[in-house]
Amino acid sequence: MAAASSSVVVVGAGHAGGQVAVSLREQGYRGSITVVGAEPVAPYQRPPLTKAYLAGKTDVEGLLMQKESYYEDNDIELVLDDPVAVIDRAARVVVLSSGRTLVFGDLVLATGATPRTLPGTLSLRTIADTDAVRARLDGPSRVVVIGAGFIGLEFAAVAREQGHDVTVVEALPRAMARAVTAFTSAHVVAEHEKTGVRVLLGTQVKAVRTGAVELADGTVLLADLVVAGIGVVPNAELAAGAGLTVGDGIVVDAHLRTDDPSIYAIGDCARFSSTRTGGRIRLESVQNATDQATCVAASIMGSAEPYTGLPWFWSEQHAVKLQIAGLVDGHDHTVVTGDPDGGRFSVFCFRGDRLLGVESVNKPADYMLARRLLSAGGTVSPAVVAAPGFDLRTYLQGGAAAA
Partner 1 sequence: MAKITYIQTDGTSTIVDVKDGDSVMRGAKLNGVPGIVAECGGGASCGTCHVYVDKDNTRPLSTMHAVEDELLYCTASPRLDNSRLSCQIPVSDDVDGLVVHVPEKQI
CA dist., res. 346 & res. 212, Å (int): 39
Residues with Cβ within 8 Å of 339's Cβ and at least 6 positions away in sequence, in order, are 345
Asked whether 167 and 192 are in contact (CB, 8 A), the reply is: no
Closest contact distance (angstroms) between CB of 372 and partner 1 is 8
Residue type, 32: S
Closest CB 360 distance from partner 1, rounded Å: 10
CA dist 328 → 33, 152, 182, 349 (Å):
37, 21, 11, 6
Measured distance between the N- and C-terminal CA atoms of the chain, rounded to whole angstroms: 36
Q: Does 67 bind partner 1 (CB under 8 A)?
A: yes
- Of 89 and 372, which CB lies nearer to partner 1 in the complex structure? 372
Q: What are phi and psi of 187, to 5 degrees?
A: -60, -45
- Which range touches partner 1 (CB under 8 A), out of 196-204, 213-221, 246-254, 368-376? 368-376
Q: Is 323 in the site for partner 1 (CB under 8 A)?
A: yes
The yes or no reply on residue 71 touching partner 1 (CB under 8 A) is no
Task: Check residue 27 for interaction with partner 1 (CB under 8 A).
Answer: no
Q: Which stretch binds partner 1 (CB under 8 A): 117-125, 143-151, 171-179, 315-323?
A: 315-323
Which of 362, 374, 380, 385: binder of partner 1 (CB under 8 A)? 362
Q: Is residue 314 within the footprint of partner 1 (CB under 8 A)?
A: yes
Q: How far is the CB of 175 from partner 1 (least distance, A)?
A: 20
Separation CA 108–CA 123 (nearest Å): 27
* Interaction between residue 70 and partner 1 (CB under 8 A): yes
CA distance 326 to 328: 6
Say how many residues touch partner 1, by CB under 8 A: 20
Instruction: Choose, by CB under 8 A, the member of 5, 7, 32, 66 that binds partner 1.
Output: 66
Residue 45 vs 379, nearer CB to partner 1: 45
Residues in CB range of 43: below 8 A, 6 or more apart: 13, 14, 15, 17, 18, 19, 35, 37, 64, 65, 66
Binding site for partner 1 (CB under 8 A): 45, 47-48, 66-67, 70, 287, 314, 316, 321, 323, 362-365, 367-369, 372, 393
